[in-house]
Structure 1
């Protein structure tokens, strides 16, 4: 009887290298799939707090209109400032700049208008500023 049996000799080192390279190839393919797959926007829309942009609101102080500008991205308040604050207004209302800086600092830390501490020097002006910021944030799409 003649059999055509072939004997294949595999070295253990070659088998181990082959398995390691196969595992690395699978990991690389999975990594590339996860990195370059299209993101699902529906989940990220649920996490949005604001519509990114610059929103404004007006304050009237003694027949002088001031515009409060609030800049937001999807989840953070980035900037709060007066856009048309000139020297005559700061002369008439010297505490207005420190008031908005104090409020802006608190809002940056908390990312919310809840529990804002008003300065004892300018409680009413601070309330007007907070109301203007709240109005601008409502335009941005938040309910806070």
Structure 2
């Protein structure tokens, strides 16, 4: 009679075994999910970072115009330059530099259209004023660590 064996298990032992087996399976699934999920989310983050050329925000740079100082404000989105303006553009600046306002608008429109700062077309009438503005924009972009590539 050595063919049949009888095993006596208590109900308490079966419950403990089932609980430990369930916890073990859950832990194993959690570990697999963490390692597989982490690799996928890092790939998505790298793609998102590659699409972000600028750190969104409003940046200012003081520019000197003769004896007065004006503050150039550049609004950046993650993928393009939204606007450029002089704040506050008071009467003394507009009186002494009448081409300042149209120069800022021209540069702002070109940059908002996706033209890189180094490719902005300068007009004959306000070439030097526009160059001061473009230089200030480039300095702002360098300070915040943006890559200056044309947006497509």
Equivalent of 2:76 in 50, 72, 76 = 72
Structure 2 CA distance, aligned partners of 1:143 and 1:109?
17
Structure 2 CA distance, aligned partners of 1:117 and 1:93?
20
Contact 1:52–1:140 under 8 Å retained in 2: no
Q: Does 2:49 match 1:45?
A: yes
> Given the two structures, how large is their TM-score scaled by the length of structure 1?
0.68
Q: What's the CA shift for 1:44?
A: 0.4
Equivalent of 1:116 in 92, 117, 120 = 120
Higher relative contact order (CA 8 A, sep 6+): 1
> Given the two structures, how large is their TM-score scaled by the length of structure 2?
0.65
Q: Does 2:102 match 1:98?
A: yes
Structure 1, 106-115 or 42-51: larger mean CA deviation: 106-115
Q: Which runs of 5+ in 1 are unaligned?
A: 1-37
Quick check: which one's helix share is greater?
Answer: 2
Aligned to 2:121, the other structure's residue is in SS state: coil
Structure 2 CA distance, aligned partners of 1:111 and 1:127?
15
Q: What's the CA shift for 1:116?
A: 1.2
Moved over 4 A (4+): none
Q: Deviations over 1:50-70 (max 9, x none)?
A: 011111112101121111111
Aligned-CA RMSD value: 1.9
Report the counterpart of residue 126 of structure 1 in structure 2: 130
